[in-house]
Structures are given as structure tokens and as C-alpha cells.
A and B are shown apart, each in its own frame.
Chain A
Amino acid sequence: MTDILCSILFVVGTLFLLFSGIGLIRLPDAYNRLQASTKAITLGMCSILLGVAIRYGLSAEGVKAILAIMIIFATATVSAHTLARGTYRFGIKPHKKTFRDDCSRAPDNPEAERPQSDE
């Protein structure tokens, strides 16, 4: 039973890694590629490491696998957010089919269009 569950988790994780790889090729601009490479890879790695944790049980390796899941959850999202902000400040525009761009109206954006005052 445990072997079947671990096998399913490994296969699901590898499939998510494969989907994120395909998304890295197919999506149009850097922001979309960042999204494909962050969410799917986080889920895939957490699935594989959860399989390791179930397989080795409550030993040192299983606990380290749980710790690695927590570290990946914390670091992947933070580095993706920082990289998206850096990309926007660098000046790379989103794809032309992007529906709305909230970051262009952010208060700390130096290139934002200020509303004209009357005085």
C-alpha cells in the first residue's frame, strides 16, 4: 500500500515537472514563463519529497524531506516574486495580450503617470 502511494506521488511529481518544462517553452513572455516555472515546479517537488517522506517514515530522512518541503515552499515563492518585480523595474513590458497591468499604477513606480493637479 505504501509502495503504491509513493509510486503515484513520484509519477505525479514528474508529470508536473514535465508540464512546467513544456510551459517554459510554449508561453509567450517572461512573466508567464515565471509562473509556469514556479507553481508547477513547487507542486512537483513537494509531491516527490512527500513520497520520500512517506517511504522512509518517521526517521531522520523523512523528517529532512518534510523540512525540504517547507524550505521549497518558502524560497520558491519569494524568489519568483522578487524576480517578477525586478523584471518589471528593469523595463521589460508584458505580452500585448495581457489583460490588465496593475503594477503600472503602483505608487512606487517611477514611470507611473501621475494625475495632474489643478493648481
Chain B
Amino acid sequence: MLIYLLYIQLFILVFPLYRIIFGPTIADRIVGIEKLGTLVTSIVVIVILITGKVWMIDIVIAWTILSFISNLTLAKYLENKKLND
């Protein structure tokens, strides 16, 4: 059953990639990047459950904190610009 969940989660990666490539504004692309970072952690969790390598749970914590910092950086970058610049 877990391998089908892995297939479904790999399919879900299509949606934020679509939003990153075809997003009308820059904010949509940043939303897609933020979502992609969280989906990678969910795939790591499913890989933990399939292979049984439980040390990979550290990757989830580290990836979450790093994507939080990158999202804050992108949001502050967006806040200090204007649409017409």
C-alpha cells in the first residue's frame, strides 16, 4: 500500500511545478516553491516507511527549517519591491 502512496505523492509534485512554471505573478511562483519544499519532506517520510531507514527523519526536520528560512527571505524580498520596478 505504501508504494501506491509514494506514486500518488510523486504525482502531486506536478501541481506546484505547474504553478512555478506558468504562474501569472511572482507571488504564485513563491507559493509553488513553498509547497514544493513541504511535499519533498512528505516523500522522505514515505521513503522512511518503505525502506525502514529511520535516521532519515532528521532530513525532515532540517529541510523544514531550511525551507522556512528561504521562504522568509523570498517574502522579504517581495515586500521590499514594487510591482512597477
Q: Which residues of A contact B (CB under 8 A)?
A: 7, 10-11, 13-14, 17-18, 20-22, 24-25, 30, 33-34, 37, 41, 44-45, 48-49, 52, 55-56, 61, 64-65, 67-68, 71-72, 75-76, 78-80, 82-83, 85-87, 89-92
Contacts and interface: CB of A to CB of B under 8 A. Distances in A.
Nearest to B76: A86
B34 A79 contact: yes
Given A79-B71, A79-B75, 9 more contacts: A21-B16, A22-B15, A25-B19, A33-B31, A41-B35, A52-B48, A82-B76, A90-B81, A90-B83
Interface residues of B, number: 49
A96 to B, nearest CB: 14
A63 B57 CA distance: 10
